[in-house]
A and B are shown apart, each in its own frame.
Chain A
Amino acid sequence: METSREPMTTPVIQAIDLVKYFPIYGGFIGRKVEYLKAVDSVSLTIHQGETLGLVGESGCGKTTVGYLILHLLKLDRGNILFKGVDVSTLRGHELQKIRKNLQVVFQDPQSSLDPRMLIKKTVGYPLEVNGIAKGAEVVTRVKTILSEVGLDEDHMYRYPHEFSGGQRQRIGIARALITGPEFIVFDEPTSALDVSVQAQILNLITELQRRHGYSYLFISHDLSVIKHVSHRIAVMYLGKIVETAPKATLFKHPLHPYTRALLTSVPKPDPGKRHSLEVLSGDVPSPVNVPSGCRFHPRCPEMTEVCRQDEPVTVEVETAHWVACHHPSTKNLERSNQ
């Protein structure tokens, strides 16, 4: 699983120029006063059997990208192609037919399961909604899928509160898998879990992909988790993707100063690699008042005049390595040469 596959066939998901602005109402009569620019022309491609990791700090819009692709939010602009077919304009029945191929696993397994529904109902519900199976057929399918994610068959007669966090997340995964999707969005699936349990879930997620060839969009703020599961990684900052590259390339030759800062500020579990973790000053600016030019310029150590004025264009620096920066670094990260 080292390099990303060549696009032999049409990609499973192609998102082109997605834009989502959330209006902020205010003032005396509640007019729209401003816009929160959550996602500002984001494009990404995900191939068959591939995991694209989407990493960024809180509030950068990574979850919104996931929801836009799944049609859980309405696009302001842009197109989403599922296997070459534009699905962004579909409505009603047409949309529902597509939807069973697109599934999601949410961050908090506590709040994404209905506490009053038996696991059988929770996991089997997508089958009924999508008209895939009924009655006894549902039960057999639920049994199969539960054992697939490492739970027992008789777990289906229990309620969510009887499970631990890790098991609940397995139920969430089972519910996503039961319609036989081709593409799954994982929205921070392990950030509510402990390390020892997180490892179990991550192994399960990669194992399922190997067995069934699912395509994933894996959203996380944790670089080490992203690195573990992804083939390619996209780094997001304030509503824009600033760098996309195959995993190995991104970690060896990060080009965008923000990517480099992210990589160095992860505390490594090795006292031999102590170094200053302070690489960036300041906080992430609010997505309501986005800085001019390059959005990263107020925090960037390599900022020049041009960064303040012009927004950088995303260019392909080497094969499959895209970056949006006026001064992409050419030096390797020292750390990688040890």
Chain B
Amino acid sequence: MDEPLLQMKNLSVRFFTYQGVVRALENVDLTIQRGEIMGLVGETGCGKSVLARSILRLIADPPGKIMGGEVFFKGEDILKVSRKRLREIRGNDISMIFQEPMSSLNPVFTVGNQMQEVVILHQKVNSLQAKDICIQMLQQVKMPDPEQILSKYPHELSGGMRQRVMIAMELSCRPDLLIADEPTTALDVTVQGQVLTILDDLVRRLGVSVLFISHDLGVIAQLCDRVSVMYAGKIVERAPVWDLFAAPKHPYTHGLLQAIPSVDEERDPLLVIAGTVPGLIQPPEGCRFHPRCYRRFEPCDHVVPHFREDKKNHFVACHLYGDE
């Protein structure tokens, strides 16, 4: 296989707060191949968004600090490039969609204004050409009457339309990698369906790689090629989407899948993962999941499990697998 588009090695991020040092990410590895949709799933506060933001160096410093690691994008370490080069990468090569489209659009400028600014900044075109590009992109995300939309303000659009504007804007510069941080969480289910279909369709057509972050395993299953499961600042399992949902290896992944009420089958009572997500100021020793794990045994509370390949392409960090 060719060199991966993005390769994250040993990334650690900490936040220095009054309460203590938050170990938000610890030695995280992640690779994204060209043209694939990589899902990143985990519960609130497990570090999904920190991971996404640190790819673009969007961690506020202070209080946050990237402690170590490398993020290679097309052979270049993003963590080491100059500010000027970083600006070129942002938006041009890697772009990002956030959860709440209202807060990522400026309320006092029209949609057209904001979209054209992005296009003019990153591609060497004049404003007329930029407008054409914008209209074209809005058609691609199936917005009715794109020219009208350009002259509207964000508050005049519905949530689903705003998120489609964001998708159009982010893809207008044909990035190689799109980071989508919970893009449909704020939307209703029928609208979520529309947005996901458009996103899926468009990125596959343009050949854009996606890092798709969600807490919703349903959305992940419908969209992604490979999935990484995060727990308390670490990736605990990574596998092709089929393997992960058919045969989850990590007890946490297994528990997550069992804890969702299903539309298709009767589950009563729901399997429960005891306890709650630990705080990251003093995460549990050894395997971070061990206090909640129903299969813990001797080494779990003091030995940190390695992230190892248990089956072809199926990685897991758990003492149940392999001999350590």
Q: Is the CB of B193 within 8 A of A279?
A: yes
Residues A270 and B245 in contact, CB atoms below 8 Å apart: yes
Per-residue contact bits, chain A 180-198, to B (CB 8 Å; 1 contact, 0 not): 0000000000000011111
B272 is an interface residue with CB less than 8 A from chain A: yes
Chain A residue with minimal CB distance to B222? A267
What per-residue 1/0 map shows which CB atoms of A247-271 lie under 8 Å from chain B? 0000100000000011101111111
CA distance A122 to B255 in the complex (A): 33
8 Å CB contacts to A: which residues of B27-50? 43-44
Pick from A3-11, A26-34, A134-142, A202-210 the stretch touching chain B.
Answer: A202-210
Q: Looking at the assembled complex, report how far the CB atom of A279 sits from the nearest CB atom of chain B, in whole angstroms.
A: 6
Residues of B within 8 A of A265 (CB): 189-190, 192-193
How far does the alpha carbon of A335 sit from the alpha carbon of B264 in the complex, in Å? Answer: 9
Task: Establish whether residues B273 and A196, one from each chain, have CB atoms under 8 Å apart when the complex forms.
Answer: yes
B322 at the A interface (CB under 8 A): no
User: Could you tell me the distance between the alpha carbons of A194 and B256 in the complex, rounded to whole angstroms?
Assistant: 10
Q: Which residues of A contact B161 (CB under 8 A)?
A: 283
Decide yes or no whether A227 CB sits under 8 A from chain B.
yes
**Most B C-beta atoms less than 10 A away, residue of A58, A166, A207:** A58
Instruction: Tell me which residues across on chain B come within 8 A of A224, comparing CB atoms.
Output: 260-263
Q: Is the CB of B255 within 8 A of A196?
A: yes
- Residues facing A in B182-216 (CB within 8 A) are 188-194, 196-198, 215-216
Q: Indicate if B219 sits at the interface (CB-CB under 8 A).
A: yes
A77 within 8 A of B: no
Q: Could you say which residues of chain B place their CB within 8 Å of the CB of A269?
A: 217-218, 220-221, 245, 257, 260, 262
A199 touches which of B198, B215, B242, B271 (Cβ 8 Å) = B271
Q: Does B127 contact A (CB under 8 A)?
A: no
Q: How large is the interface on B (under 10, 10 to 19, 20 to 34, 35 or more residues)?
A: 35 or more
Q: Knowing A228-B261, A228-B268, A268-B218 touch, does A277 contact B192 (C-beta < 8 A)?
A: yes
Q: Which residues on the B side are within 8 Å of A289 (C-beta)?
A: none
* Interface residue? B270 (CB, 8 A): yes
CA distance A216 to B206 in the complex (A): 49
Closest to A225 in B: B261
Assess whether B267 is interfacial by the CB under 8 Å rule: yes
Of the residues B193, B218, B262, contact of A278 by C-beta under 8 Å: B193
Tell me the minimal C-beta distance from A300 to chain B in angstroms. Answer: 12
Q: In the complex, what distance in Å separates the CA atom of A335 from the CA atom of B265?
A: 12
Is A111 in contact with chain B by the CB < 8 A criterion? no
Query: Which of the listed residues A166, A199, A221, A272 has the most CB atoms from chain B within 10 Å of its own CB?
Result: A199
Q: What is the CA–CA distance of A279 and B191 in the complex, to the nearest angstrom? A: 9
- Report yes or no: B190 in contact with A221, Cβ–Cβ below 8 A: no
Output the residue of A221, A271, A272 with the most chain B CB within 10 A: A271
Q: Is the CB of A199 within 8 A of B270?
A: yes
B304 within 8 A of A: no
Is the C-beta of B241 less than 8 angstroms from some C-beta in chain A?
A: yes
A195 in complex: contacting residue of B189, B191, B197, B259, CB < 8 Å = B259
Assuming the contacts A265-B192, A284-B188, asked whether A277 and B260 have C-beta atoms less than 8 A apart, the reply is no
Which residues of chain B are near A227, meaning CB under 8 Å?
261-263
A330 nearest CB across to chain B (Å): 22
Closest residue to B257 on the A side, CB-wise?
A269
The answer, among B197, B246, B269, for a CB contact under 8 Å with A206, is B269
**In whole angstroms, what is the CA distance A270 to B222 when docked?**
7
Pair A228/B218 contact, Cβ less than 8 Å: no
Interface residues of B in 134-175 (CB under 8 A from A): 158, 160-161
Instruction: Report whether B193 and A283 are in contact in the complex, using a CB–CB cutoff of 8 Å.
Output: no
* Contact between A202 and B261, CB atoms less than 8 A apart: yes
15 contacts between A and B (CB under 8 A): A167-B276, A196-B256, A199-B273, A221-B188, A261-B190, A265-B193, A266-B263, A277-B193, A277-B222, A278-B197, A278-B198, A279-B193, A280-B193, A280-B194, A283-B191
15 further A-B contacts with Cβ under 8 Å, apart from A57-B190, A228-B261, A271-B241, are: A58-B188, A164-B276, A196-B272, A197-B276, A224-B260, A224-B263, A261-B190, A266-B189, A267-B216, A267-B223, A268-B221, A269-B262, A276-B193, A277-B192, A278-B197
- Would you list the 9 A-B pairs with minimal beta carbon distance, nearest first? A277-B193, A267-B218, A228-B261, A265-B193, A199-B259, A278-B197, A196-B273, A199-B270, A57-B188
Which residues of A are in contact with B by a Cβ distance under 8 Å?
A: 1, 57-58, 164, 166-167, 194-200, 202-203, 206-207, 221, 223-225, 227-228, 251, 261-263, 265-272, 274, 276-281, 283-284, 335
